Amino acid sequence: MAVWEAKVKMKDGSTYTVKRLLANGDTNTKMRKSNAFSKEYYTVGLSLSPARESGYEVCASRSPGCTKACLFTAGYGVYQPVKNARIAKTRLFFQDRLGFITRLKEELRLANRKAIRKGKILACRLNVVSDLPWEKLFPELFTEFFDVVFYDYSKHVVRAKEYDSGNFPNNYHITFSRSETNQKAVEYIINNCPRTNIAVVFDNKDLPSQWGGRTVVNGDETDLRFTDDVGVIVGLYAKGRGRKDNSGFVVQSL
């Protein structure tokens, strides 16, 4: 197969060559835990650049607190070459949508074949540090790759409601994310969307047993959110700049 490359115009006028969209789960700290946690799944992820770092908005429901505490400031995301690669992929998405989705499908096919050879199920996180509504943008992804499990976190309450109602691809799992500005939405989900789990970032690894009347599970043991029990709070420990949060985005454990 010919080597694929895409030339992307960056914000400063320079050109960046994108050679790959998906990353193996072993290159991401949380997803690497998933590969170790479960022998059933082979994980890959799409890491775009969060917020408006690329010049294009990919997290429309973000809050000031989550923007500041974003995982772009943790793990490999702190390194400039990684940031540049994520920015370039994001700009490619907006500059050449058809070329982007064509390549994404090809990489998904390759990853799925690899998973099958390993005797595993492919799990793909499309929004590692973004929040795009893939079910609206490219609904055919979920029928074409019907044997792939897709999963994401999202702060879009409309997506969470649609997921809970069943008006969503069967193989796409969504976990709603709490921030310091969406408490009413969180309360709505708790009271009206029993199928939808909620991710909450805590300041301490010693997570509470319950939050908001729901059982809290440790979300840092694995990234495979679709394996969580239904109707739980997914407790996450603050990372990167989130450890110094004072906006209310990070919740006190005790």
| Nearest-angstrom CA–CA distance, 237 and 27 | 20
Could you tell me which residues come within 8 angstroms of residue 144 by beta carbon, excluding any fewer than 6 positions away? 105
Our CA angle for 103, 227, 168, nearest 5°, is: 55
pLDDT, tens digit (0-9, with 9 covering 90-100), for 153-193 = 999 999 999 999 999 999 999 999 999 999 999 999 999 99
Token representation of residue 219:
């979300």
Instruction: State both tokens at 60.
Output: 């429309």
pLDDT of residue 26: 54
The tens digit of pLDDT for each residue in 5-17 reads: 999 999 999 999 9
Other Cβ atoms within 10 Å of 119 Cβ, number: 9
Q: Give the pLDDT band of residue 35 (cuts 50, 70, 90).
A: low
- Is there a contact between 221 and 198 (Cβ–Cβ < 8 Å)? no
Judged against a pLDDT cut of 70, whether residue 72 lies above it is answered with no
Q: For 230-245, how does the pLDDT look when each residue is reduced to its tens digit (9 = 90+)?
A: 999 999 998 877 778 8
- In terms of pLDDT, which residue wins out, 39 or 221? 221
Say if strands 214-218 and 210-211 run parallel, antiparallel, or are unpaired. antiparallel
State the pTM of this model.
0.92
Q: Which tens digits make up the pLDDT trace of 116-127? A: 999 999 999 999
Q: How confident is the model at residue 138 (pLDDT cuts 50, 70, 90)?
A: very high
**How many residues would you count in the chain?**
254
